[in-house]
Amino acid sequence: MVKTMRRTPEFSLKEVFLSAVGRLSGPAGRDKRGEVVAEALGYLQEGFGAHYAAGAATDDAILVGDYAYALAVETIARLDEPRFVGVASRMIRDGAGEISRGGTVSISLWTPHLAQLLGIISGEDENRSEERIRAAIEEVKSAGG
| 17 occurs within a structural domain | yes
Handedness of CA 84, 48, 50, 138 (dihedral sign): negative
| 6 occurs within a structural domain | no
* 91-128 residue pLDDT tens: 988 988 887 787 788 899 999 999 999 999 999 999 99
Q: What is the mean pLDDT of residues 78-100?
A: 88
Q: If we measure between CA atoms, which residue out of 107, 78, 92 comes closest to residue 44?
A: 92
Domain carrying residue 66: 13-143
| 4 occurs within a structural domain | no
Residue 73: the pLDDT is: 86
Say if residue 28's pLDDT is above 90: no
Residue 3: the pLDDT is: 42
Q: If we measure between CA atoms, which residue out of 98, 50, 53, 54 comes closest to residue 71?
A: 50
CA 48 from centre of chain: 10
Q: What is the mean pLDDT of residues 23-31?
A: 86
Residue 57: the pLDDT is: 65
Residue 1: the pLDDT is: 38
| 2 occurs within a structural domain | no
Rounded (10°) angle between helices 13-22 and 126-143: 120
| 3 occurs within a structural domain | no
Query: How many domains, in total, are found in the chain?
Result: 1
| 74 occurs within a structural domain | yes
106 vs 133, higher pLDDT: 133
Q: What is the mean pLDDT of residues 11-36?
A: 91
HSE-up of residue 131 (Cα within 13 Å, Cβ side): 7
Q: Report d(CA 145, CA 139) in Å as an integer.
A: 9
| 1 occurs within a structural domain | no
Residue 10: the pLDDT is: 80
Q: How many CB atoms lie within 10 A of CB 108?
A: 10
Q: What single-letter DSSP state applies at residue 53?
A: S
* 35-74 residue pLDDT tens: 999 999 999 998 888 777 656 667 787 788 888 888 988 9
| C-beta separation of 131 from 112 below 8 A | no
2 vs 128, higher pLDDT: 128
